[in-house]
């Protein structure tokens, strides 16, 4: 099956596209920059959604749904916000088609022009804060802790499946609080939820930190981020959580009566992760043979391939593994007995490799005689023959082991590719020769940040939470700096 994929070494970017398409995750559509998420890809996304949704609810959030369309005038109300999103908006201007009087199918009916245009939401702060205005009168109405699972559109010019698409699926949390402290704490809490999800479920180590001012969300006072390293050493911003201060409350005039009876503006956060996580997942673990999925997010965890010469043989195998299947299912493990007669075992093996199924079992006639079964693990591509009796215990442990192992591998890879650098020349050289993440001193100015970006295409990914205080000099300007920041080229 390896032959079907371009290798990572040959062309990483082509490998990614090949894999997305050939593993049946997604494909490009007839709509510019929009993808179709195919059933297998969507099944992985559903697993992610389920776990994230559970974590949101455990932290006190409820889901709600707000309109897809946003009146254009709402956008002008928060200056930074409109600046950030106006250039990539899909605009609805009419509400009817009519038959082409010249016979060319249907045309837009000029008589059905909207008085005010609508924007397809690129994010929902404006429509939501316009709604919260009616929900909030007093401190008793706070906090509001809502989340929305939705589609959004940003008219990106250069798109790549999952990583950057004109339409994407995401969740956006929008919370309202009585105090600055509470909102700051909420933004912190949610970036930690994302980090926990990334590390424990996606098996993807991340670095948490603050974005620089330039890289903040349009309208935020502080943006927190989790940054993951892909196999090619580039960074992928995997989730963000924003402290919005009182910006949106002021833009939409959302005030509340405090316990003391004063009127104050409400404090806000918003936070989101998207189908971009699918791209992060793929590029964190997969290899030249296909996907490698963490067992916790694999739609199918165990596949059993029977190797038989006659239908009688097939039935014997089916009967022999049926007890194992029951035990695995009882342990909450998803398992499939692949009795398709249209494909040969070798083809099936390669297909499960391509699809990243964590454990693949095989049973042939000799196994029947010996009371054994072949157990292959996807992450290491190794296999062993084990006694059938009690193998369910082994498989259960193996799934945990795979989950841990791929996390460990990703962490080791990352450790090797994080470099402390103090000279800008050295930085530029290593960026091209070694790649990966760099911890450098920066003078904190947007000008220096801009210069680094223009000269090297690397950006300040974040100021890590755990960066120790350390006296140093900006690697570009030599001005004083007290902390190293994380710099890398990014998706």
Site of interaction with a second copy (CB under 8 A): 27, 29-31, 34-39, 42-43, 46, 62-76, 82, 86-99, 105-106, 108, 117-120, 127, 130-131, 134, 140, 146, 150-151, 153, 155, 167, 169, 342
For a second copy, which is the closer residue by CB, 65 or 385? 65
Residue 467's contacts (CB-CB under 8 Å, 6 or more residues apart) are 209, 439, 483, 484, 485
Min dist. Cβ of residue 339 to a second copy (A) = 15
Q: Which of 291, 444, 262 is nearest to 357 (CA)?
A: 291
Give the span between the Cα atoms of 99 and 109, in whole angstroms.
8
User: Would you tell me the crossing angle of helices 446-456 and 424-433 to the nearest 10 degrees?
Assistant: 40
For a second copy, which is the closer residue by CB, 14 or 73? 73
For a second copy, which is the closer residue by CB, 94 or 420? 94
For a second copy, which is the closer residue by CB, 3 or 259? 259
CA dihedral sign of residues 24, 28, 31, 34: positive
Give the span between the Cα atoms of 44 and 42, in whole angstroms.
5
Phi, psi at 261, each rounded to 5°: 85, 5
For a second copy, which is the closer residue by CB, 81 or 242? 81
User: Would you tell me the crossing angle of helices 276-285 and 391-416 to the nearest 10 degrees?
Assistant: 90
For a second copy, which is the closer residue by CB, 6 or 28? 28
**Kind plus residue range of the DSSP H or E element containing 22:** helix 12-22
How many Cα atoms sit within 13 Å of 381 on the Cβ side? Answer: 11
Quick check: helix, strand or coil at residue 269? strand
Residue 46's contacts (CB-CB under 8 Å, 6 or more residues apart) are 299
Asked whether 274 and 236 are in contact (CB, 8 A), the reply is no
Residue 23's contacts (CB-CB under 8 Å, 6 or more residues apart) are 40, 41, 290, 291, 354, 355, 356
Quick check: helix, strand or coil at residue 298? coil
Min dist. Cβ of residue 72 to a second copy (A) = 6
For a second copy, which is the closer residue by CB, 67 or 435? 67
Min dist. Cβ of residue 450 to a second copy (A) = 22
Min dist. Cβ of residue 146 to a second copy (A) = 6
Give the span between the Cα atoms of 190 and 226, in whole angstroms.
11
- Looking at the DSSP bridge assignments, the partners of residue 274 are 170
Give the span between the Cα atoms of 471 and 171, in whole angstroms.
39
Give the span between the Cα atoms of 128 and 119, in whole angstroms.
14
Min dist. Cβ of residue 142 to a second copy (A) = 13
For a second copy, which is the closer residue by CB, 96 or 482? 96
For a second copy, which is the closer residue by CB, 153 or 229? 153
Asked whether 285 and 297 are in contact (CB, 8 A), the reply is no
Min dist. Cβ of residue 148 to a second copy (A) = 9
Min dist. Cβ of residue 27 to a second copy (A) = 7
Min dist. Cβ of residue 138 to a second copy (A) = 11
Min dist. Cβ of residue 256 to a second copy (A) = 15
- Looking at the DSSP bridge assignments, the partners of residue 160 are 164
For a second copy, which is the closer residue by CB, 29 or 179? 29
Give the span between the Cα atoms of 417 and 435, in whole angstroms.
7
- Please give the structure tokens belonging to residue 115: 């008085």
Min dist. Cβ of residue 286 to a second copy (A) = 21
For a second copy, which is the closer residue by CB, 70 or 402? 70
């Amino acid at each position: 099956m390896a032959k079907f994929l371009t290798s990572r070494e040959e062309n990483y970017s082509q490998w990614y596209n090949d894999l997305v398409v050939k593993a049946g995750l997604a494909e490009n559509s007839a709509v510019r920059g929009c993808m179709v998420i195919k059933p297998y890809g969507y099944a992985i996304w559903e697993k992610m959604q389920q776990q994230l949704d559970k974590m949101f609810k455990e932290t006190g959030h409820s889901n709600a749904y707000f309109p897809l369309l946003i009146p254009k005038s709402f956008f002008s109300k928060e200056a930074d916000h409109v600046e950030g999103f106006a250039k990539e908006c899909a605009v609805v201007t009419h509400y009817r088609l009519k038959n082409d009087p010249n016979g060319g199918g249907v045309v837009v009916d000029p008589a059905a022009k909207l008085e005010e245009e609508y924007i397809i939401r690129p994010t929902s702060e404006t429509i939501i804060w316009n709604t919260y205005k009616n929900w909030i009168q007093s401190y008793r109405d706070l906090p509001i802790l809502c989340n929305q699972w939705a589609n959004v559109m940003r008219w990106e010019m250069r798109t790549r499946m999952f990583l950057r698409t004109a339409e994407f699926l995401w969740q956006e949390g929008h919370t309202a609080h009585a105090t600055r402290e509470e909102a700051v704490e909420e933004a912190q809490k949610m970036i930690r939820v994302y980090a926990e999800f990334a590390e424990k479920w996606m098996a993807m180590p991340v670095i948490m930190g603050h974005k620089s001012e330039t890289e903040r969300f349009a309208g935020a006072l502080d943006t927190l981020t989790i940054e993951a390293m892909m196999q090619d050493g580039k960074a992928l911003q995997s989730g963000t959580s924003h402290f919005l201060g009182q910006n949106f409350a002021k833009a939409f005039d959302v005030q509340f009566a405090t316990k003391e009876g004063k009127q104050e503006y409400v404090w806000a956060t918003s936070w989101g992760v998207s189908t971009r996580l699918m791209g992060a997942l793929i590029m964190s673990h997969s290899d030249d043979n296909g996907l490698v999925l963490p067992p916790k997010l694999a739609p199918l965890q165990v596949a059993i391939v029977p190797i038989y010469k006659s239908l009688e043989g097939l039935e014997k195998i089916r009967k022999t593994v049926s007890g194992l299947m029951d035990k695995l299912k009882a342990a909450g493990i998803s398992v499939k007995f692949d009795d398709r007669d249209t494909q040969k075992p070798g083809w099936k093996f390669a297909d499960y490799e391509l699809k990243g199924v964590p454990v693949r079992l095989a049973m042939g006639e000799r196994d029947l005689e010996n009371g054994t079964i072949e157990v292959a693990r996807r992450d290491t591509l190794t296999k062993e023959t084990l006694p059938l009796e009690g193998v369910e215990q082994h498989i259960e442990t193996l799934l945990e082991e795979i989950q841990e192992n791929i996390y460990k591998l990703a962490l080791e890879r990352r450790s090797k590719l994080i470099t402390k650098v103090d000279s800008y020349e050295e930085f530029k050289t290593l960026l091209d020769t070694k790649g990966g993440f760099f911890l450098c001193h920066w003078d904190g100015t947007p000008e220096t940040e801009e210069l680094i970006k223009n000269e090297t295409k690397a950006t300040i990914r974040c100021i890590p939470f755990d960066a120790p205080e350390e006296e140093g000099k900006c690697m570009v300007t030599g001005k004083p700096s007290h902390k190293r920041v994380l710099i890398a080229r990014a998706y």
